[in-house]
Amino acid sequence: MAATRSEIEAPLFRGEALALRSAVESRRREFITGRACAREALGGLGLPATAVLVDAFGAPRWPVGVVGSITHCTGYRAAAVGRATDFAAIGIDAEPNLRLPAGVLGAIALPVERERVGRLLHEAPGPCWDRLLFSAKEAVFKAWYPMTGAKPDFHHAEVTFELESGRFRVRLRGPHRSPRGNPSRLVGRWAVAAGILATAIALSRPCRGTS
């Protein structure tokens, strides 16, 4: 993984620059710094710098043989990559440690999740659990979409946080429960530091010869 808390001015490949033709300045800065992080992460795998373009939905298009994810929020940019022989998918997300705007939790959370978030906000202050829930679901979707071609709704993933371990568990529901034989129960990691909430999930390739 490569991450930074500062803006980076770095050259873009031609296809990347074309993706920014109509972008506002804040989006341009996010994109450029995210691509700089991506190239540093690829270098960690011993791979050369290359363009990381976007698909029709804005998701990164990684080089053949690589899976990964990019995230950005105010004051933080990061990219994580792995070899496709080792990982089926990677998803990361970062958010400011601030409460969600009014009405957003109701739009993204299942009733049971809203109950859990209410308890955690009272019993374990520190992380803004409502936004952490949003971040965890974003990380899951960033991994799930390139692996399956499906874009789950927020209500298709039920997230449970573990305080002691820093893990979160995900149960996929509805039509995206287990497409193409993929698992319906996933485990990710969460952390909070310096005003930033971070979540990550990596799906390993099954070992050959195992079911």
What is the C-alpha to C-alpha distance for residues 9 and 48, in angstroms, rounded to an integer? 19
**pLDDT value of residue 209:** 44
What is the C-alpha to C-alpha distance for residues 48 and 56, in angstroms, rounded to an integer? 25
Instruction: Tell me the pLDDT tens digit for each residue of 138-183.
Output: 999 999 888 888 777 899 999 999 999 999 999 988 655 544 556 6
What is the C-alpha to C-alpha distance for residues 76 and 141, in angstroms, rounded to an integer? 20
Instruction: Tell me the pLDDT tens digit for each residue of 99-117.
Output: 999 999 999 999 999 999 9
Q: For the chain, what is the mean pLDDT?
A: 91
pTM of the model: 0.91
